[in-house]
Amino acid sequence: MKFAFFFATVILIALHQGVNGLCFSSICCCNIVRQTDNCGRGTYGASRSGGRRSHRGIDIICPANSDVRAPFNATIIRTARPYSNNNGRHNTGVLMKGTGKWAAHSVKMFYVRKTVNNGDHVRGGSNIGVMTNMAREYRCTMTNHIHVQLYKNNRIIDPTPYTC
């Protein structure tokens, strides 16, 4: 019993330290990942398009018109769009390249109307945009969220461990 308690404690501590001590700043509210709603799951690797592809990021719950913050110190690179064939006003986002201890990372955040300029340097936790009401784009009842897609050395990785 003592071993199980000790093991559980070690796991909880590890979960709150991120990867190599790296944790996202608060992106919106409390960085809560969207679980299952009428449109699917917001977890990394969740099934999409009837199993033909998998979710390449996580969905952080964020009410429409909320401030959206940078997950880490970064340089704003450009606007990023989740769907190239959609000109809807909710089809927008931002691409950022990490700086300092986050220099190997970049992140795409979708459904965010950016309020910063390309080339701006931002600190983790500083406002970078406003959450769109992207749930209106979908016919199912979807929870409003920011899609967070993380890269390390230009390879996509699971952002979940960094939401500590």
Q: What does the pLDDT profile of the chain (164 residues) look like in tens digits?
A: 444 444 444 444 444 568 889 999 999 988 999 987 777 788 998 877 677 778 889 999 999 999 999 999 999 999 998 877 766 666 799 999 999 999 999 999 999 999 999 999 999 999 999 999 988 777 667 889 999 999 999 999 999 999 99
In the block, residue with structure tokens 């033909």: 52
Query: What is the reported pLDDT for 17?
Result: 66
Per-residue buried b or exposed e for 27-43, using 16+ beta carbons within 10 Å of the residue's own CB: bbeebbbbeebeebbbb
Query: What is the reported pLDDT for 9?
Result: 40
Query: What is the reported pLDDT for 55?
Result: 82
Amino acid identity at 55: H
**C-beta of residue 62 within 8 angstroms of C-beta of residue 131:** yes
- CA within 13 Å, CB half, 16: 5
In the block, residue with structure tokens 């784009």: 137
Query: What is the reported pLDDT for 58?
Result: 96
Separation between Cα atoms, residue 128 and residue 5, nearest integer Å: 41
C-alpha to C-alpha distances, 108 to 78, 91, 143, nearest whole angstrom: 10, 13, 19
Dihedral over Cα of 94, 91, 126, 30: its sign: negative
Q: 19-162 — its CATH code? A: 2.70.70.10
Query: What is the reported pLDDT for 13?
Result: 42
Query: Which residues have CB under 8 Å from 107's CB, separation 6+?
Result: 71, 72, 74, 95, 96, 98, 148, 149, 150, 151, 159
Query: What is the reported pLDDT for 86?
Result: 67
% of the chain residues with pLDDT over 90 = 61
Query: What is the reported pLDDT for 11?
Result: 42
Instruction: List, for residues 82-129, the tens digit of each pLDDT value.
Output: 877 766 666 799 999 999 999 999 999 999 999 999 999 999 999 999
Domain assignments of the chain as residue spans, ordered by start: 19-162
Query: What is the reported pLDDT for 12?
Result: 42
Query: What is the reported pLDDT for 69?
Result: 99
